């Protein structure tokens, strides 16, 4: 297993994985998010490759203080193998190398299947309200 930055050549595999994992929404094209992350100077998408095949991803970025994680996805066949934990460790290492002191992520209220996973990794409710506004 190798974890490394994905490239634009991985676009189809990445978006297919995100769709398989149920992370996409019709109003938010995943290919656009991937391009933004890869074009940014403070973000990337790390991919887990097994025998050259993409089996996991995590999008990671920072604002100089806080790190953020998005699109943690693991292929169905690889779930329960510890790959999600390894991807989160890689994301944390990426952030530490860049000086981030805090890691945050958002989980949709309807995605109850993953809350236990994040609890086991030491995440806790930050007791904040996340507000958003579409700019497009």
CATH number at residue 60: 3.40.630.30
Domain that holds residue 49: 2-120
Containing 25, the helix (H) or strand (E) segment is: none
Residue 40 lies in a domain: yes
**Number of compact structural domains in the chain:** 1
Residue 116 lies in a domain: yes
Round to whole Å and give the CA distance between 23 and 88. 16
Residue 47 lies in a domain: yes
Q: Give the pLDDT score at 128.
A: 86
Q: Give the pLDDT score at 134.
A: 79
Residue 98 lies in a domain: yes
101 Cβ neighbours under 8 A, 6+ residues apart: 65, 66
Q: Give the pLDDT score at 111.
A: 84
Round to whole Å and give the CA distance between 67 and 8. 23
Residue 128 lies in a domain: no
Residue 103 lies in a domain: yes
Q: Give the pLDDT score at 100.
A: 94
Round to whole Å and give the CA distance between 10 and 18. 12
Let me know: does 57 contact 17? Beta carbons within 8 Å.
yes
Residue 136 lies in a domain: no
Q: What residue ranges of the chain have pLDDT lower than 70? A: none
**Which residues on adjacent β-strands are paired with residue 59?**
45, 70
Residue 126 lies in a domain: no
7 Cβ neighbours under 8 A, 6+ residues apart: 38
């Amino acid at each position: 297993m190798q974890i490394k930055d994905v490239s634009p050549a991985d676009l189809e595999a990445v978006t297919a994985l995100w769709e398989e994992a149920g992370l996409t929404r019709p109003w938010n094209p995943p290919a656009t998010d991937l391009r933004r992350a890869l074009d940014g100077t403070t973000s990337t998408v790390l991919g887990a490759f097994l025998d050259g095949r993409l089996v996991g991803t995590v999008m990671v970025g920072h604002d100089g203080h806080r790190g953020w994680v998005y699109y943690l996805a693991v292929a169905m066949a690889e779930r329960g193998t510890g790959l999600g934990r390894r991807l989160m460790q890689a994301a944390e290492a990426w952030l530490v190398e860049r000086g981030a002191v805090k890691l945050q992520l958002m989980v949709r209220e309807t995605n109850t299947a993953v809350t236990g996973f994040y609890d086991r990794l030491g995440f806790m409710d930050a007791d904040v309200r996340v507000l958003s506004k579409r700019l497009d």
